[in-house]
Amino acid sequence: MAEVLLFHHALGLTAGCRAFADELRAVGHVVHTPDLFEGRTFGSVPEGVRHAEQLGFDTVTERGMRAAEALPARIVLAGFSLGVMPAQRLAQTRPGAAGALLVHGSVPLPEFGGTWPDGVPLQIHTMADDELGDVDVAHELVAAVAGAQLHLYPGEGHLFTDPGSPDHDPEAAALVMRRALAFLHVADRRG
């Protein structure tokens, strides 16, 4: 089974983030869920983003980088929205990544060096009309990364996989989980 480092979104390490990780664990994957906000959670994306801004986005990303230090190099880096920043940075800059699973967002390729490492699979999930979902960036990444997958879901909700979010879409969230499990199976077999 795959080992996964999963970073939470701007609401913090919510019950919804933990539930996603637990679903992966239930089928045998090892999942690490560091708390980049040190126990703080928020009721809305703007509140969580304000907190991240106060901490500094670089601080949030550095906390993610530190969370990876004690883990094996061969790991799938995953992130929800804000958590995409450390996940994608690690995937692009830390040798040996088994894959990158980006949900609710992505970061322009040049942000972390401009290249994607050969042989590191990439899967992105976002809603087609989500203003925060970086759909244009996702299209650019998929065009630049051989074999990358972009899954767009109908709607405009942002944190649609989190049952605690007003954007939650159970049908789309279930599809993300099925596709993520298939992705992890492939990433594990490549190792």
Q: What secondary structure, in 3-state letters, does the chain show?
A: CCEEEEECECCECCHHHHHHHHHHHHCCCEEECCCCCCCCCCCCHHHHHHHHHHHCHHHHHHHHHHHHHCCCCCCEEEEEHHHHHHHHHHHHHCCCCCEEEEECCCCCHHHHCCCCCCCCCEEEEEECCCCCCCHHHHHHHHHHCCCCEEEEECCCCCCCCCCCCCCCCHHHHHHHHHHHHHHHHHHHHHC
- Rounded to two decimals, the pTM is 0.96
Above 90 in pLDDT, residue 89? yes
We report the CATH number of the domain holding residue 128 as 3.40.50.1820
**How sure is the predictor about 187, in pLDDT bands with cuts at 50, 70 and 90?**
confident
Supply the range of the domain harboring residue 75.
3-190
Mean pLDDT of the chain: 95
**How sure is the predictor about 186, in pLDDT bands with cuts at 50, 70 and 90?**
confident
Number of domains in the chain: 1
For residue 178, what pLDDT is reported? 98
